[in-house]
Amino acid sequence: MMYTMFHRRDLALPPAIGRLTELAFNLWFSWNDGAKELFAAIEPKLWDQFRHNPVRLLTETDAAVLKERSEDEAFLQRYRDVMAEWDAYREAETWFQKEYPQHTRQAIAYFSAEFGFHESLPIYSGGLGVLAGDHCKSASDLGVPLVGIGLLYKKGYFDQKLDTEGGQLAENIAYDFNKLPIVPAYVPVLEGQAPAEGQGDGAPPLRELTVDVPLAERTVRLKVWQVQVGRVPVYLLDADLEENSPWDRELTAQLYGGNQDIRIAQEVLLGVGGVKALRALGIPTGTFHINEGHAAFLSFERIREQLDKGLPFHVALEVIRASTVFTTHTPVPAGHDAFPLPMFEYYFSRLFTDYPSARREWTLLGLDEPKQLFNMTHLALNTSALRNGVSKLHGHVSREMFRAFHGGIDVPEVPIGHVTNGVHLNTWLAPELKELFGRFLPGTWLRHQANKDSWKTVDLVPSESLWSVHMELKQRMIRLARANLREQRRRNSLPADRIEEVRNYLSPDALTIGFARRFATYKRANLIFNDLDRLDRLVNDPNRPVQFVFAGKAHPADHPGQEMIREIYRVSETDRFRGKIVLLENYDMNMARHLVQGVDVWLNNPRRPYEASGTSGQKAAMNGVINFSVLDGWWEEGYDGANGWSIESSDGADAGTQERENTEAIYRLLETEIVPLYYNQRPLPAQWIARMKRSIRTLAPVYNSDRMVMEYVNEFYVPALKRTQHFVANRYDEATKVADYKRFIRKNWHYVRVAELNDPQAHPNATTPKEVTATVKFGPVWYKDTAVEIVYYEEKADRWDPVIVTMEPVRELGDNTVLYRATIPPHLQHGPHYSVRVYPVSANFARRFELPLVTTF
């Protein structure tokens, strides 16, 4: 990797274990089991107390203890083994180096509003951030030259406490960044500047990096911090500097906090400030990835850079589009950030003053005309050539949602693809299972985890061994749950007997179902409570009991989500469910690991199709925990009928119908399939274990982030990089041609029309295809710059699929009018059965319908 990590903090360790500093400041430790065990061995209680933060551990551990560890031969041998593994990791040839050696010097800039790497760095709120963290980890493992850009939230998201009524208390914490695995980013000192304090003699003069971002009528200064994630650097922007106003200092204080003014200001800092940081660091960047619309303002700064080089706006836009990838995660229109136009214009007033002639073009990039709002997703779509949703179903939902944005073409042709999310296997797979799989899977299975063949031998794992490990993980999860509940009750000053009774909560022998995720109403955490008497019979069956573990946070402003938490708490406190339904507080990545590794079944019942992907079930699946889910997000494509259970409802059902049908399906499947299967063939439930193995074998090789990142590289990053290189060659010659071509086509497309269609009436019993001709007038548009097609539909088992027939030009008729011909089935008639369409094409388009102009007849 091309970027250098500057370790500026001296943790004053004994020389024999001095490289622990290096390890503590690289989050590689968070997905290396040996490294975590090494840190835990220093002071086990402090390791847990400090949320597995190695920097704080090494800072606050007594010097005498560190000296003792440095003289302990067993500890030193473990230390040497881990450091050897770390050195081998850094020096190994990577997948990207082998596949794309010519592109290793061009970075991919991955912009995200949050990153969830590990519980020791709490700058994430949920799925989007954890996905971004897993993306970076797999990029590191694969050697992808990725660079992360985000904001540094000094107060994180929030710590969740539950009161005696189940009310959520959001506790803000100001973190001490001198005790976190994060350092300031440094750059060479410029003439006239002072080097950083404490810099050693002879070292090249460096300074802490800051960048200035215009924000309305003022300038906000951002300090740049660096987190090292294996080979991948992630740069985080921090506005908490003395030279900023008190209001501006709070802009990066908290994730998803405050009003719309704070949100748009944060997004300006992320997008514009992130590009400025990359430039100041001197990182050559070939592709930009907008991970959700929050970061889309990065395109404004990049267009401004091109304008300063002398490019016209429409050419600058084509350069930026060619090199930008956009991933949307939100399946409902209300979830996409949009700001009142006066607010948008206020925050970019400086930009519009400096570039007055481009004000209209900049505004149009995000304008939602009917609503008179500036929409961040519109901006991202208009400035990216390659776009995707995060599951097959979500790709379809996104195409439906943005069909009008693309001129009303058929949904399957809207240029938004999909890359189904995956999770970082080394982070989420239990160490005990890694060890077990390593005895039966090929020796390279971890490096080739996305190869399905590597997982075929899961069936060879002895059922006794798999079940024994699973029960060990279940016991560990129960210990964490009991400790969490005891602390809840102790803090809420409950009587001693109420605290002590928790020791008997949750039985390791009972079928245990986990539900843990953000408490948003569409996720319907309380669906299982729709029939409490039926639930009572399941939970309190003397021979086949079922128990439930719930966890998750609701956004502080989401009052319906918080009420859902209270409802679960109230049910869990009733006599018939006490100790058998539990609600844990302060869900974080550490708790998530315990739950996805330790429950028996993972329950997921969102309102379809509102779960764009979901990844918690993927984490559960690789650990042998069986999914029980609505066919939404990733499960719609992952479920094969035998590797879990599907919670059914009628296709296209309204919310009320879904609610009733999903509820009935949950109870019926629990009563008739899941519970009987779990308790059958005791003490070793062979049929259950077989389903566990099938879940692992079919899902782990597909729903991991190595597969996901390789897909992004092959289908998005490298094509964008190549297209950009083509566009900017010869002084932007190709970009200029494409931009001018699009401008010309937009200006003259109204001339294009189908003047006449000749569709002979075939005999009712005819079987021979018939010939159809169309006369098309093009005006100033060259006919070879268009495609002329017939579109009709064929009925399949459960849907109607479009059939596209290309019409071939027969001859030119003069006045730029051309006769086209095609053959189609004889029974089709124009109007009721098929239509003719004309649209512009270019070999330099990234997608077929890059220009949303279609003339239909």
Q: Domain extents for the chain? A: 15-91, 107-197+216-418, 459-703, 752-856
Closest CA to 86 of 163, 30, 168: 30
pTM of the model: 0.95
Q: What angle do CA 277, 279, 283 make, to 5 degrees?
A: 100
**Which pLDDT does position 1 carry in this prediction?**
41
**Helix spans in 615-701 (H):** 616-622, 635-638, 655-669, 675-679, 686-699
Torsion sign (Cα): 127, 128, 129, 135 = positive
**Helix spans in 30-126 (H):** 33-42, 44-49, 54-60, 63-70, 73-91, 95-99
Q: Note the CATH architecture for domain 459-703.
A: 3-Layer(aba) Sandwich (3.40)
The 10s digit of each residue's pLDDT in 477-518 is 999 999 999 999 999 999 999 999 999 999 999 999 999 999
DSSP 529: G
For the chain, give the mean pLDDT. 94
Residue showing tokens 């090199």: 323
Average confidence (pLDDT) over 154-178: 89
**Which pLDDT does position 4 carry in this prediction?**
45
Question: Residue 683 is encoded by which pair of tokens?
Answer: 């003490």
Region 752-856: CATH code: 2.60.40
How far apart CA 853 and CA 840 sit, in angstroms, is: 7
Between 449 and 3, the more confident residue is 449
Average confidence (pLDDT) over 349-366: 96
Burial of 33: CB neighbours in 10 Å, binned 0-12, 13-18, 19+: middle
Q: Pairing relation of β-strands 834-840 and 855-856?
A: antiparallel
**Exposure string for 380-414, b = 16+ CB within 10 A, e = fewer:** bbbbbbbbbbbbbbbbbbbbebbbebbeebbbebb
List the strands of the sheet with 511-516, edge to edge.
581-584, 546-551, 511-516, 601-604, 626-630, 644-647
386 neighbors 364 (Cβ within 8 angstroms): no
Burial of 159: CB neighbours in 10 Å, binned 0-12, 13-18, 19+: middle
**Fold of the domain built from segment(s) 107-197+216-418:** Rossmann fold (3.40.50)
Closest CA to 780 of 742, 749, 813: 749
For 73, other C-beta atoms within 10 Å of its C-beta total 7
Same fold, 107-197+216-418 and 459-703: yes
Instruction: State yes or no: pLDDT of 201 exceeds 60.
Output: no
pLDDT-based confidence at residue 195 (cuts at 50, 70, 90)? low
Instruction: State yes or no: pLDDT of 117 exceeds 90.
Output: yes
Torsion sign (Cα): 141, 147, 152, 156 = negative
Q: What angle do CA 621, 624, 627 make, to 5 degrees?
A: 45
DSSP reduced 3-state for 562: helix
408 phi, psi to nearest 5 deg: 80, 20
Beta bridge partners of 351: none
The 10s digit of each residue's pLDDT in 367-405 is 999 999 999 999 999 999 999 999 999 999 999 999 988
Query: Which of 354-358, 704-708, 766-770, 852-856 has the lowest average pLDDT?
Result: 766-770
The 10s digit of each residue's pLDDT in 435-444 is 999 999 999 9
How far apart CA 450 and CA 492 sit, in angstroms, is: 47
DSSP reduced 3-state for 827: coil
Residue type (1 letter), 343: M
Residue showing tokens 């790497």: 117
Question: Residue 468 is encoded by which pair of tokens?
Answer: 């024994």
pLDDT-based confidence at residue 764 (cuts at 50, 70, 90)? confident
Average confidence (pLDDT) over 138-149: 98
DSSP 272: I
How far apart CA 834 and CA 655 sit, in angstroms, is: 34
